[in-house]
Amino acid sequence: MRYLVIVLLFVLSVSCKNEQQQPLDNPLFEGGNSITEVEIEDILSDSTLSIRAITLFNDGNLGFAGSNNSYGLYDAKHKRMTTSTIQHDSLKLQFRAVANTTSDFFALSIGNPALLFKTGSHGKMELVYKETDENVFYDALHFWNDKEGIAMGDPTDSCISIIITRDGGTTWHKISCENLPKVKDGEAAFAASDTNISIIGNNTWIATGGKSSRILFSPDKGKTWEVFDTPIVQGLETTGMYSVDFYDAQNGFAIGGDYTNPEDASANKIKTRDGGRTWEILGKNQNPGYRSCVQYIPNRAGEELVVLGFNGIDYSKDAGETWTHLSDESFYTVRFLNDSIAYAAGKGRISKLKFLR
C-alpha cells in the first residue's frame, strides 16, 4: 500500500521542469537588490539518510532519492512529505540521480549493478534498465523532454558511460565508445549532486572529473559529441568539476575542487561565455573553496549564482567574479523553484531555502 500511495502522488504531481533558465527578456530587471541572507527550514529530517538527488516539478512539489533504498515526494501545497523504499533482490541501494517527465519519476542507483527505476502503473517503481560491470557507477540523470532522456557515469570501457532513452524512459540504450570521445587516464565523474549534466534546448554539457576534468558537449541531444578541455584543478582522483550549470546556450559555470582539501580555492571555479568551448578561472585563491553544486538563480539575467557543499552556501551577484558566504549549513545539492525559493538536500535532511534581499 505504501508503494501505491507514493506512486499515485508522483503520477498526479509530476511535470517536466527544465532547471536551467533561458536568457531573460524582462525589461523590468535592472539587477535588483543583492541577496543578503538565507532562511533555512527543514522539511525532512532523518539521520539515517544521505540525499544527493532532488528534482522539482512544475507544481512546486519535490521528488528525491537517497541512501538506504529510499525515495519520496514532498507535497509543497499541503507541506506533507511521503517516503518509501525500492526493494530489489535484497540489495542495499543508494540513489544519487533522479529526474522526471510529465508522467514518470526516475531514480538511478550507484554501483554494480546499476539499476534505473521509473514509476509505473502497477503501484510500485519498475526496473527499466540494468547494467552489470565491476566499474559501473552512474552519476547523473536528466531529460530533454517527455520522450528523451540521458544518464552519465564513470567509464566501463574507453569512454564515459552514457545511456539514452527516446521512448519516455521505457527502454534505455548505451552509446558505443566508437561514438564518444575517449577518456583520458583517470577521468571519471562525481556522484556528488546530480548536476554533472546541464541541458539547454538540444544542447547538452557533461562535466567529468578526476585526474582529467573536461566538458563533453552534444548539440543534438546526444547524437554527436565533442570534448573541451578546462583549466579547473585536476590531476588527482578527487579533483575536478563536481557540478556544471548553463544559463543559456553560451553562458555556463562549473565548480568543484578537491573534497579532501576543501579550503583550496586556487582553481576550482570556472566560467564559459562561448558554450563551453573555452573556460576561464574566476576567483583564484578566493573563497569559496570546494563546493559540490552550482545553480544559476532563475530570472536574474545569468548574473546570480548559488553554490553549496558540506562547508556551506555562497552567493555571487556578478556571474561568479566575487562571492558572499551566506551560511555554514551543510548541503550537497540545490534546485531553485524561483528567484527566492530553493530546496536543498544533504546528510540527514532536505530543506526549503528562502533567499532574502
Q: Cα torsion at 54, 78, 349, 210 (round to 10°)?
A: 10
Helix (H) or strand (E) holding 5: helix 2-13
Does residue 24 lie within any of the structural domains? no
Does residue 278 lie within any of the structural domains? yes
For range 4-22, the mean pLDDT: 45
Q: How many distinct structural domains can be found in the chain?
A: 1
Does residue 33 lie within any of the structural domains? no
**Closest by alpha carbon to 4, among 93, 98, 91, 82?**
82
CA distance readout (Å), 80 to 67, 272, 299: 20, 40, 28
At 46-71, the pLDDT tens digits run 999 999 999 999 888 999 999 999 99
At 217-273, the pLDDT tens digits run 999 999 999 999 999 999 999 999 999 999 999 999 999 999 999 999 999 999 999
The range of the structural domain enclosing residue 56 comes to: 2-19+38-354
Q: What's the pLDDT at 304?
A: 98
- CA–CA distance, 129 with 111 (Å, rounded to integer): 14
Does residue 293 lie within any of the structural domains? yes
Does residue 30 lie within any of the structural domains? no
Q: What's the pLDDT at 124?
A: 83
Sheet with strand 203-207: strands edge to edge: 197-200, 203-207, 214-218, 226-229
Does residue 28 lie within any of the structural domains? no
Q: What's the pLDDT at 3?
A: 43
- In this structure, the number of other CB atoms found within 10 A of the CB of residue 37 comes to 12
At 117-155, the pLDDT tens digits run 999 766 689 999 999 999 999 999 999 999 999 999 999
**CATH number of 182's domain:** 2.130.10.10
Q: What's the pLDDT at 18?
A: 43
Grid cell 553544486 — which residue? 293
Q: What's the pLDDT at 164?
A: 98
- CA–CA distance, 197 with 130 (Å, rounded to integer): 21
Helix (H, G, I), strand (E, B) or coil at 225: coil
Does residue 31 lie within any of the structural domains? no
